[in-house]
Structure 1
Amino acid sequence: MPERLVHIVDDAPALAADNGGTLTMVLVLDGFLDAGNAAGRAAQHLVDLSDGPVLATFDVDQLHDYRARRPPMSFVRDHYESYDAPRLVVRQLADAGGTPYLLLHGPEPDNRWEAFCRAVREVVERLGVTRVVGIGSVPMAVPHTRPIAITHHANDPELLSAESPWRGELRIPSSAQSLLEVRLGEWGHPAMGFVAHVPHYLAQMDYPQASAALLEQVEIAGRLTIDLSGLRAESEDREAEITRYLDNNEEVAEVVAALERQYDAFERAEESGSSLLAADQPLPTGDELGREFERFLAGLDGPDAPDGDTDSQGEQD
């Protein structure tokens, strides 16, 4: 008989009963939909604000591919120590007004997605979750100088609070998080989510602007109040870094300007109801952007990085 995939504490409180029969669970799985570390940083912000008890723990050994995503550990002079074991847990948190909610966060399962979905269903039904709200982010050909666009999605059309910018059907790579939304809908549990569009030239660095934008949506969907002042301060610092870099790198600034023109043309077309394809405004290719922003990313390793530092960053696992 296989081991249980999730362990829920025996004395888990009846949070929904204490909150008028409603309980939101925020869902953040690291490893796929997280350009700019937007969702991961958002989850960490929630924990920093209200680090509550763990109510459920998933058996990561059954879900994680250690060779594909090797956990870090420390080697101190002559011995190994401080192994950072991956954890996939459900935490009890509270918003600024004391309203309880849950946060399911940790590495996306590498395998056994269907079993993982069934385990989450057990958590939802045992703890009385009434709505699951997932967040993520994807790299897009958009400029950082324009508002962050958000794609809304849900397993029940009545949960949607904005119209989708997409038309027709898109064939995309699946994720455990997206599959979970589908399965929860089949089991009669409301689930929805938000995906931030992060400028793809900033996708490999922390982009707190997107984290704040995602949590604004979580506030609305989950009827929560979240202190975003810390994230907004980080966003201002990051924006200042980017501005300083662009002021000293004309070629990079020109590429951003091209993205701005394309973005604005799309906006005008949307408002007028005409074609989304802007005439005479060619979008730079991925190769062109990659070449232009290799130095951009290297220069933003830290606030004090020298302008002439053009070493390439190592690829992330």
Structure 2
Amino acid sequence: MSEERDQRECVLLAAFEGWNDACQAATNVVRHLVSRYESREIRHISCDGYYDYQVSRPMLCRVTGRPRIIWPQTTFYEITLPTGRRLYAQIAPEPNYRWREYCRQSLHIADELDVDRIVTLGSMFADCPHTRPLPVDVSHDLDEAGRSCDCGANDDEGGYSGPVGIPTVLDDMAREQSFATTSLWASIPQYSGNDDCPQATLNLLRRLGRELGLGFDEGDLEARANEWNAKVTMLLRCSDQLADYVHHLEREWDRAQEARRAASENPRQAEQLVRETEDFLRNL
């Protein structure tokens, strides 16, 4: 994408709490941007008809000492960067009901804001080691041929098939309405627990910046990511079984990286490495 197009393009980021948001890594990208830059709420989608309140429960808060019920809702932000460029961001719990109607309402707001591109953010648990760069998977316009992967993630040439969440549905409906779409998904080690994963948030933020041709203020994310890595490493010292599992993931990751390097240099050698990797995995 050219720098001139970067300046013209109006982008809406979308992230949803729940199934699509392991360790809150995706929604924390939006929260980070809202906290680091001049931001204001500009639109909302009412919760009525979209949520099961036994799943997405209302919250009791106190405002100036008085109790107030906060219902789940969708909030749209306008984020103004120091360069003067504006981004829009949508954040919400994943709806329980009427996904198509919810997406139509979201896209109607995007159209009102003159949005050109919708970027959905997600995070998922995966078999990846925390001792290697956490993968960020990127796809454009739901085109599997255009899918790319950062940080050595395993990429299935056939593309993903299976259950999807609201980001994928929003992508699909946006494409049908002629919006450009980009999807960014971070992978998080499944053994690391459910606490926030600032490393995945940082990787998503950096990849988002490269996709948009922007350099974002990272704040304390790198320091928090280092703390997260140290904490997860400590878990390995408490469990030999977990340490062995992570060493297995490291070997698999390193073999995949070696195969990619060989593929770019020598296709015949790459085929041999793929066979060796398959034999290695079968014999585990």
Partner secondary structure for residue 162 of structure 1: strand
CA separation of 1:228/1:283 partners in 2, compared to 1, >3 Å: closer, same or farther? farther
Note the 1:208-247 alignment, pairs <5 A: 208-247=198-237
Where does structure 1 lack aligned partners over 5 or more consecutive residues? 1-18, 285-317
Moved over 6 A (4+): none
With the length of structure 2 as denominator, give the TM-score of the two structures: 0.82
Aligned 1:61-210 pairs, distance under 5 A: 61-73=48-60, 81-155=67-141, 157=143, 160=146, 162=148, 165-210=155-200
Aligned-partner residue type, residue 115 of structure 2 = V
Measured against aligned partners, the alpha-carbon deviations of 1:49-80 in whole angstroms (never above 9, x if no partner) come to 125221111011121111122233369xxxx9
In angstroms, what is the RMSD of aligned CA positions? 2.8
**Residues 138 and 282 (structure 1), Cα distance of their counterparts in 2 relative to 1, 3 Å cut:** farther
For these two proteins, the number of residue pairs brought into alignment is: 263
Does the 8 A contact of 2:41 with 2:76 survive in 1? yes
Please tell me the residue identity of whatever aligns with 2:54. R
Q: Which has the higher strand share?
A: 2
Give me the TM-score of the superposition, normalised by structure 1.
0.74
* Match in the other structure for 2:279: 279
From the superposition, tell whether residues 129 and 38 of structure 1 become closer, same or farther in structure 2 (CA, over 3 Å): same
> In proportion to residue count, which structure has more helix?
2
Contact 1:139 1:197 in 2 (8 A): yes
Decide whether aligned partners of structure 1 residues 181 and 279 sit closer, same or farther in structure 2, where only a CA change above 3 A counts.
same
Structure 1 window deviating more from structure 2 (99-108 vs 83-92): it is: 83-92
Q: 1:239 to 1:147 in 2, by over 3 A?
A: same
Contact 2:142–2:171 at 8 Å: present in 1 too? no
CA gap of 1:161–1:261, structure 2 versus 1, over 3 A, is: closer
Instruction: Name the amino acid aligned to 1:101.
Output: L
Identity percentage of aligned residues: 23
SS of 1:33's equivalent in the other structure is coil
Which amino acid is the alignment partner of residue 246 of structure 1?
L
Task: Give the structure 2 partner of residue 34 of structure 1.
Answer: 21
CA distance in 2, matches of 1:20, 1:232: 27
How big is each residue's C-alpha offset from its partner over 1:103-140, in whole Å with a ceiling of 9 and x where there is no partner?
Answer: 11111111111111211221121111111111111111
Contact 1:261 1:281 in 2 (8 A): no
Contact 1:36–1:202, Cα closer than 8 Å, also in 2? no
Give the Cα–Cα distance (whole angstroms) in 2 for the partners of residues 282 and 255 of structure 1.
Answer: 15
Structure 2, unaligned stretches of length 5 or more? Answer: 1-5, 263-269
